[in-house]
Amino acid sequence: MATLIVVQGIVCGLAVLPVMAVWGPLLAWTTGDPATRVVAASFAVVPSYALFAITLMFASALATRVTGWRTRPNAEMRLADLDWALLDWVRYMVAIHVVRLFAGTLFRGTPVWSAYLRLNGARVGRRVYVNSLAVSDHNLLDFGDDVVIGGDVHLSGHTVERGFVKTAPVRLGDHATIGLGSLISIGVTIGPGVQIGALSLVPKHVTLDEPGTYAGVPARPLGSDASPPARRA
């Protein structure tokens, strides 16, 4: 807890510094003229917040790299044990949540958000569009080129079951599309050109490698009565 508070305090402090560097001269320039100060401050609020959010993203990604906070791949961590692997995961998730809270709404769906995911451990290809804030365990994510992840998609490399945190990578091939509100579970591999329809579920450790559209709970080939894809052993 102490290291979490200290590191996040440093990260947020660093994110504020560029804003202070802008506001100091601005306030000095408008000294003695209240009307000009109000107008200048009004125009500076939104750019200042954007500057804070951008700095926060990159400072947080740098901090998680320096501290080594990551989600262990293919792990089963018992919550009651509170071992270091679990605590590293908790601190990594908190760092992601802080960025999500202060910067995600402003920058999701932009190249800046994709750059943050990449710096925070994800393998992200070119022209990737991520419009969801419910994407976590970044170091376990592997996205190819031209991947599209719609709003409110839940995609992460962990699940909590019967007192254990279980982790596994998630891979999306080139040109894969995940529709609005879908849930992609751990250990899933979605091949190139696969589209997942809105509000669909891809269960744990499933591979969808035949190009086409899948939808439903669980996701099946669209227009097919076939059984759901088998899980990998």
Q: What are the distances in angstroms from CA 51 to CA 8, 45, 58, 95?
A: 18, 10, 11, 18
232, part of any domain: no
Question: Residue 126 contacts by C-beta under 8 Å, 6 or more apart in sequence?
Answer: 145, 146
Q: What is the total count of domains within the chain?
A: 1
**Would 18 be classed as within a structural domain?**
yes
Q: What strand order describes the sheet that includes 183-184?
A: 154-155, 183-184, 201-202
- Mean pLDDT on 37-51: 86
More confident residue, 220 or 233: 220
- Helix-then-strand count for the chain, H and E: 5, 17
Q: Let me know if residue 89 belongs to a domain.
A: yes
> Of 25 and 147, which is predicted with more confidence?
147
The partner residues of 141 in beta bridges, in order of sequence, read 170
Does residue 233 surpass a pLDDT of 50? no
- Is residue 202 in some structural domain? yes
For residues 54 and 58, what is the distance between their CA atoms, to the nearest angstrom? Answer: 7
What is residue 190's predicted lDDT score, i.e. its pLDDT? 96
What does the pLDDT look like over 183-203, one tens digit per residue? 999 999 999 999 999 999 999
pLDDT for residue 227:
54
Which two three-digit tokens encode residue 199? 């509000």
Cβ atoms of residues 149 and 125 within 8 Å: no
Residue 229 domain flag? no
Amino acid identity for residue 223 in this structure: G
Q: Can you give the pLDDT at residue 39?
A: 85
- Assigned domain for 20 exists: yes
pLDDT cut 90: percent of the chain above it: 78
Q: How confident is the model at residue 43 (pLDDT cuts 50, 70, 90)?
A: confident
CA–CA dist 150, 138 (Å, integer) = 17
Q: Confidence band (pLDDT; 50, 70, 90) for 45?
A: confident
Does the structure show a pLDDT above 70 at 93?
yes
Q: Is 100 contained in some domain? A: yes
CATH code assigned at 66? 2.160.10.10
210 is in which domain, residue-wise? Answer: 2-221
Structure confidence by residue, pLDDT tens digits, 162-175: 999 999 999 999 99
- Is the pLDDT at 231 greater than 60? The verdict is no
